Structure 1
Amino acid sequence: MNRINISCVLILLIFSSCKEKVKKAIVEESSPKMDQVTFRTDEENQKVDVLIDGDLFTSYIYDGKTPKPVLYPVITKSGTKITRGFPIEPLEGERVDHPHHVGIWFNYGDVNGLDFWNNSYAIKEEDKHKYGTINHREVTETNAATGTLVATANWDTSDNTTLLEETTEFSFSQEGDTRKIIRTTTLKALEDVSFKDNKEGMIAIRVTRGLELPSDQPSIFMDANGIPTEVKALNNEGVNGNYLTSEGKTGEEAWGTRAKWTTLYGKIADEPVSVTIMDHPGNVGYPTYWHARGYGLFAANPLGQEVFSDGKEKLNFSLAKGDSVTFKYAILVHNGEQLSEDSLNGYFSDFSKDQ
């Protein structure tokens, strides 16, 4: 082979190599980055979808069908829904109690005498004056680079008097098989506001049937025709949830106890999953009491202490007009091998340092 041919071959090889490198760079640039959070605004349905690596994690819903904004559904990295579908998407075999339990939410049972917790579409019109509504105002920011969504809302009376202005920042992320939500909510009082000691509160999730604790108590469930039906003998097949608190309380014994964090774990279709809520040392009432029920309500309530302590403690928290208070929580949504206590304590240690 002469020198000219050799030179041509070398040029072709170099060109081919560069072409492949350019092609690879273009593919990498256009592909979603690992654990990347993106937001998809859907103004028609009044929600913002939160996606990680292009897959739905949850949606911030503010359509007014529930009298507060909610995160729904909540989905693991593997695609398993851990939230109950009712009342948004009723599924056969689900409980149909407590229509105000929707996805993940934040509110309270007694604010200036109004019940924000139990308000729902099921409340009779003549009783509406007894309840408060959290009305979404606007999404002020979505930042894919930091995985944050910021929204504002008003805590209103039935005659639209605003008691509290709410500003909430949600921070979404993913690490391995663990998806994380950090919710930071600041409430500013527009008049003197009292949070009377009440067991109904404060940050909560209503989970799917598989994460409930097994029970033999009769209840009402959705049948195959979408009709609520009383079931006296429960079928606990696939129902295997269990609570564990940072203080070592398990099962039903978690309810009414204080802890830094509580995890609810089990299997859905043979896949290990868990959801963990973590209190923050800067919160009022830390470490919080847990309103963690076997039927699927999993809540942290720092302000309602009397019922949980059998009357030994009481907290009637209040804000003077113009004052504000901030509550911060971490929620871990995990699939795969169960997170160990050491791992959860590690997450909590990192979270507690976050101001």
Structure 2
Amino acid sequence: MTRILAVAVFTLLVGLPDMTFVGNPIRFAQKDGRLFLSQFGRPVFEYVTSDDKVRRPYFHGLHTPSGVRVTRVHPPVKGSELADHPTMHPGLWMAFGDISGADFWRNKGLVRHVKFLKTPTVENAVASFTVRNSYEADGKPICTEDCEIQVTFNSFRQCKGTLITWTSRFTPAGGSFYFGDQEEMGLGVRVATPFTVVKGGTIRDSEGRKNGKEIWGKQADWCEYTGVLNGKRVGIVLMPGVKNFRRSWFHARDYGLLLANPFGRNAFTKGEKSKIEVKAGWELRLRYGVFLYDSESDNAPNIGAVYREFTKQLNPRNK
């Protein structure tokens, strides 16, 4: 019987595509290793399964429900975008700097898309798909990831937006493997240059802290990047699930990087080095929420209320 080692989920706010029903405004389309999601003809995101330079699957071109792009152009265009880390920060991604000594953050190891376990589908206004990825180093598999993506719209009463729920299940390819301790471990996003802190945007967390100097290396229930683009208040909120094996620290940088990381205990606090082992027959589940929103006014929504509602949605029995 499979033993569950830990829990975490990645959820995200972004717009949806249609594909299944005639007249459905939510659409999927696939071409050349890319999966496109749109709503009412407006792009929501691209999911890339194979890239010569980025050796892991990733999302890019994330847009708010009204069509404002909130992730950096990929590849970045020098002169109009901050162009650092072009292959490590492609948009929205999950990556790890240390899995059994192999580096999948800096594109040294390979995260190979194996197949779709569930084909892209739209049902009851929810878009979803599931993929299987193989984490490989020196041509040998270390572990397998089954990654389920679910996208919904207008998911919260407090604020309109798109919610993507990202659930990853990791199992050993052999006897066992482990997650190490680095800053670069978890779910990350690189935001569009115009609303980075260095261009006038703001990073906020659940504890009332602001920007990289106060937030970097601190644990929080949620953390967001927010700013004004095209006259709209927009934001991306990372919300670790309450049933994760450990509360996440945030790797927050004023140039546009935001990462939720439950693994980097020593990297962030200089405390005991973390080593999360997954033995044969065990499973590590990761779950986080990311909320993508926009509004007509400059007023920031109540993200604390959004987070509480998100938590109830994930755990409906916990009143």
Report TM bin, short chain: 0.7 to 0.9
Equivalent of residue 271 in structure 1, options 229, 232, 242? 232
Q: Tell whether the 8 Å contact from 1:111 to 1:194 is kept in structure 2 after alignment.
A: yes
Q: TM-score, normalised by structure 2?
A: 0.83
The residue number in structure 2 matching 1:132 is 109
The residue number in structure 1 matching 2:40 is 53
Structure-1 separation of matches of 2:316 and 2:59: 23
Q: Tell whether the 8 Å contact from 1:52 to 1:174 is kept in structure 2 after alignment.
A: no
Structure 1: segments with no counterpart, 5+ residues: 1-28, 120-130, 215-238
| Distance verdict in 2 for CA 1:111–1:177, change over 3 Å | same
Point out which structure has higher relative CO (alpha carbons under 8 A, 6+ apart).
2
For residues 9-52 of structure 1, give each alpha carbon's deviation from its aligned partner in whole angstroms, at most 9, with x where no partner exists.
xxxxxxxxxxxxxxxxxxxx9543xxx5331122xx21111122
| Structure 2 residue identity aligned to 1:136 | H
For residues 246-299 of structure 1, give each alpha carbon's deviation from its aligned partner in whole angstroms, at most 9, with x where no partner exists.
1222112111111111111111133210000110122222x2100111111111
Equivalent position SS for 1:113: coil
Q: Does 1:353 align with 2:311?
A: no
Could you say which structure has the higher helix fraction? 1
For residues 167-200 of structure 1, give each alpha carbon's deviation from its aligned partner in whole angstroms, at most 9, with x where no partner exists.
1110011117401111000011113212121111
Structure 2: segments with no counterpart, 5+ residues: 1-20
Give structure 1 regions of 4+ aligned residues with deviation exceeding 4 angstroms.
none
For residues 47-91 of structure 1, give each alpha carbon's deviation from its aligned partner in whole angstroms, at most 9, with x where no partner exists.
11112233221111112231010111101111111111142x525
RMSD: 1.9
> Counterparts in 2 of 1:21-32, with a 5 A limit?
31-32=23-24
| Structure 2 residue identity aligned to 1:321 | A
Structure-1 separation of matches of 2:163 and 2:45: 11
Q: TM-score, normalised by structure 1?
A: 0.75
Equivalent of residue 90 in structure 1, options 72, 77, 89? 77
The residue number in structure 2 matching 1:106 is 94
Equivalent of residue 198 in structure 1, options 171, 177, 182? 182
Equivalent position SS for 2:306: helix
Equivalent position SS for 2:264: coil
Structure of higher CA gyration radius = 1
Could you say which structure has the higher strand fraction? 2
The residue number in structure 1 matching 2:196 is 212
Equivalent position SS for 1:347: helix
> Counterparts in 2 of 1:224-239, with a 5 A limit?
239=199
Structure-2 separation of matches of 1:79 and 1:107: 27
> Counterparts in 2 of 1:38-187, with a 5 A limit?
38-42=27-31, 45-65=32-52, 66-87=54-75, 90=77, 92-99=79-86, 100-119=88-107, 131-141=108-118, 142-145=120-123, 146-158=126-138, 160-175=139-154, 177-187=160-170
| Structure 2 residue identity aligned to 1:74 | L
Structure-1 separation of matches of 2:26 and 2:289: 17
Q: Tell whether the 8 Å contact from 2:242 to 2:311 is kept in structure 1 after alignment.
A: no
Structure-1 separation of matches of 2:51 and 2:122: 26
The residue number in structure 1 matching 2:3 is none
Q: Tell whether the 8 Å contact from 1:280 to 1:351 is kept in structure 2 after alignment.
A: no
For residues 301-352 of structure 1, give each alpha carbon's deviation from its aligned partner in whole angstroms, at most 9, with x where no partner exists.
101111211x134321111133210001111111114221443233333244
Structure-2 separation of matches of 1:61 and 1:288: 26
| Structure 1 residue identity aligned to 2:195 | L
